[in-house]
Structure 1
Amino acid sequence: MLYPEARAPYNLIFQQIINGIQAEHKLQLVTYPLKKNYDPEQLLAQLSSDNIEMVITLGRRGFLMADLLMNKIPFVSGALPLKPNGISGVSLIADPDSLLTKLLELAPNTKNIHVIYSPVNQWLIDLAHYAAKQRQLSLKSYKVNDLSDAIKTYKQVINNANSKTDALWLPLDKITSNERVVLPLVLEKSWKNKLLLFSSKPSHAKRGTLFSVFPNNEGSGERLVQMVKQLYFQKTKPGVEPMKSNKLGVNLRTAGHLGLKYSSIQLKTFSATFPIPE
């Protein structure tokens, strides 16, 4: 397993993924902490010398090995916001299926979901349409190409949405979830209109969306082991999967503003709640 060498607390995510890998893979696990200036060719020779049969790469530093490993050693990648590109792995991008499951748990009266996205996320929106259809939800998707188009579309969607049945989803998208321009605008307008807003980005629940999700890193590690074994034994590529194992962060102030209440049993299932009591 290849992962960036980092000091605490920056190594916590990688250590959690490693814990998941070790839980799923009971045989020998050889770890290779990578320094910033490591030599990929030298590392490839080391892997060959060590008779490594399967590889998991974590983070951007490990992903630098992808081209060298291709067609030599079965490998999968994690701890990155991967998109389909011919490589297999678990993306940090949340699975729309799990997002919609959590949405209906928190706001069961939701009927229509609006999402504004840029072309690079078409693969994710396709998954979301399928997940919505399975739940008899209407997903209305709006493709935009730039920031000004995104802002105009957000204003139109929020002004026309029905606050009793509609929700607005912020995907992980550099254009349509822009932190400096889009997020403050959408938070303000959705709050004013009492429109349910949820997000794929972990930090957004703290900022004011009803909920957001963050990775279950141990679960990601377990899935990475399953995928690399599929590559090794079955010779089939599982491709890139969105993160299906997620934890839930909920903004209780926003929930109260929207008229949503949760039982003590529900509250215990939330991994994080905001605002954090002082």
Structure 2
Amino acid sequence: MRTESIAGKTFRCLVASILLALLPWPGFSNERSLAVIYPDVREPYQSVFQEIIAGVDEQSARQVKTYVLSREYEQKALEAWLTNNNIGAIIALGRSGVNVAASVADLLPVIAGALLLTPDPDGKQESGISLDTDPEILFRQLKMLAPGIQRVHVIYDPQASAWLIDLARIAARHHGLELSAYPAESMKQSARLYRDVLEKADPRNSALWIPVDAATVDEKVILPLVLKESWDRSLLVFSSNPAHAKRGALFSFYPDNVALGRRLAAMAEQSISDGARFDPVIFPLRDVRIAVNRRTADHLGISITREQQQKFDLMFPAP
């Protein structure tokens, strides 16, 4: 019978100890969690946040912790919560969520979502996904529904939307479109520019794009005027605002909230992996659903096939 040496036993014990140390013991994992910070709001906004969180949870293998901001929010309480929950990155939703998360951005990477974002030219910004629909998606849909369109007119706020117009110029070239972009420094200037475009644009080959831009589009005065005049002249209008298709724009886009959550989670994961090498970046919205106005399409002489209808998420008026 062979007898194991003391050295052999010692070696086996050492190997076993190392293997045990590598096992993922419950409750003692060093893997960092993701935090989702968002305000306590009423419906329908609460459901929007919950859908985004569901997408985050689907995408990430990490634990996802939520922190609901109350009116009695305290900075020290948030910092303690982040530490106690071993948070590695923050996904901040809505303007108040992003504003609060900015106070701890020196400690953890912050990924922003569910709001309009503007890149900072100095790079001092959060990363995230703006609610501005990617112009590439807008123009692709435009050419699918109205292939004869050659020029797109847009009036925009240069302070908030210049970055989006830069993307739009690239997308326009890709789709064989000429982009005529007019910066407006005030609502008064915007109204004048809209009147000029509505008077001079050729309905046979031109379209008007309305961006999500509160500084240039007044929902109570300018928008009704634009929709009425464009209808009278049979000028195609499409919009980045989800409510405008119902009011008469040919089509508009709105977020796919679950898919948006998945993309935000992927960005948060990347920020943890990259650490100090992670560069802040803002993307336009690419996870979208489409709403189409059938009445406007009929008025413009645009024939919508059954195959196209099956790809639309909302149609107005409802079938």
Rounded to whole Å, the distance in 1 between the matches of 2:291 and 2:168 is: 20
Q: Is the 8 A contact 2:239 2:253 kept in 1?
A: yes
Q: Is the 8 A contact 2:130 2:283 kept in 1?
A: yes
- Unaligned stretches of 5+ in structure 1? none
Q: Which amino acid is the alignment partner of residue 296 of structure 2?
A: T
Report whether the alignment pairs 1:236 with 2:271: no
Partner of 2:83: 48
Partner of 1:68: 103
- For the structure 1 residues 10 and 172, does the alpha-carbon distance in structure 2 shift closer, same or farther, using more than 3 Å as the test? closer
| Secondary structure, counterpart of 1:159 in structure 2 | helix
194-203 or 101-110, larger mean C-alpha shift: 101-110
Report whether the alignment pairs 1:169 with 2:204: no
Report how far residue 17 of structure 1 moved. 0.4
Rounded to whole Å, the distance in 1 between the matches of 2:179 and 2:291 is: 23
Q: Identity, % of aligned pairs?
A: 41
Deviations 1:159-198 (A, max 9, x none): 2212121100001112322111210111111111100001
| Secondary structure, counterpart of 1:93 in structure 2 | strand
Partner of 1:258: 300
Partner of 2:150: 111
Report whether the alignment pairs 1:182 with 2:217: no
> 74, 85, 92: which is aligned to 1:57?
92
Rounded to whole Å, the distance in 1 between the matches of 2:88 and 2:156 is: 39
Q: Which amino acid is the alignment partner of residue 173 of structure 1?
A: D
Deviations 1:122-175 (A, max 9, x none): 111111111111112110101121222222221221222121211000011123
Q: Is the 8 A contact 1:90 1:241 kept in 2?
A: yes
Report how far residue 238 of structure 1 moved. 4.3
Deviations 1:107-126 (A, max 9, x none): 12111100011212111111
Partner of 1:128: 168
Partner of 2:186: 146
> 115, 123, 129: which is aligned to 1:90?
129
Deviations 1:26-53 (A, max 9, x none): 2211122222322132111210122111
- Unaligned stretches of 5+ in structure 2? 1-35
Q: Which amino acid is the alignment partner of residue 156 of structure 1?
A: D
| Secondary structure, counterpart of 1:232 in structure 2 | helix
Q: Which amino acid is the alignment partner of residue 268 of structure 1?
A: Q
Q: Which has the higher contact order (CA 8 A, sep 6+)?
A: 1
Report how far residue 84 of structure 1 moved. 1.4
Report how far residue 219 of structure 1 moved. 1.4
Report how far residue 9 of structure 1 moved. 4.1
Report how far residue 7 of structure 1 moved. 5.1
Rounded to whole Å, the distance in 1 between the matches of 2:189 and 2:197 is: 12
Deviations 1:44-90 (A, max 9, x none): 12101221111111112321323322221112011111221311011
Q: Which amino acid is the alignment partner of residue 309 of structure 2?
A: L
Q: Is the 8 A contact 2:187 2:217 kept in 1?
A: no
Report how far residue 8 of structure 1 moved. 4.7
Rounded to whole Å, the distance in 1 between the matches of 2:129 and 2:109 is: 15
Under a length normalisation based on structure 2, what TM-score does the superposition of the two structures give?
0.83
Q: Is the 8 A contact 1:170 1:176 kept in 2?
A: no
Q: Is the 8 A contact 2:90 2:101 kept in 1?
A: no
Rounded to whole Å, the distance in 2 between the matches of 1:107 and 1:176 is: 26
| Secondary structure, counterpart of 2:136 in structure 1 | helix
Q: Is the 8 A contact 1:36 1:61 kept in 2?
A: no
Aligned-residue CA RMSD (Å): 1.5
Rounded to whole Å, the distance in 2 between the matches of 1:118 and 1:33 is: 32
Q: Is the 8 A contact 2:126 2:281 kept in 1?
A: yes
Rounded to whole Å, the distance in 1 between the matches of 2:40 and 2:190 is: 38
Q: Which amino acid is the alignment partner of residue 310 of structure 2?
A: K
266-275 or 175-184, larger mean C-alpha shift: 175-184
Rounded to whole Å, the distance in 2 between the matches of 1:100 and 1:33 is: 37
191-200 or 174-183, larger mean C-alpha shift: 174-183
Report whether the alignment pairs 1:22 with 2:57: yes
Partner of 1:276: 318
Number of residue pairs matched by the alignment = 277
106-115 or 32-41, larger mean C-alpha shift: 32-41
Q: Which amino acid is the alignment partner of residue 14 of structure 1?
A: F
Q: Is the 8 A contact 1:112 1:167 kept in 2?
A: yes
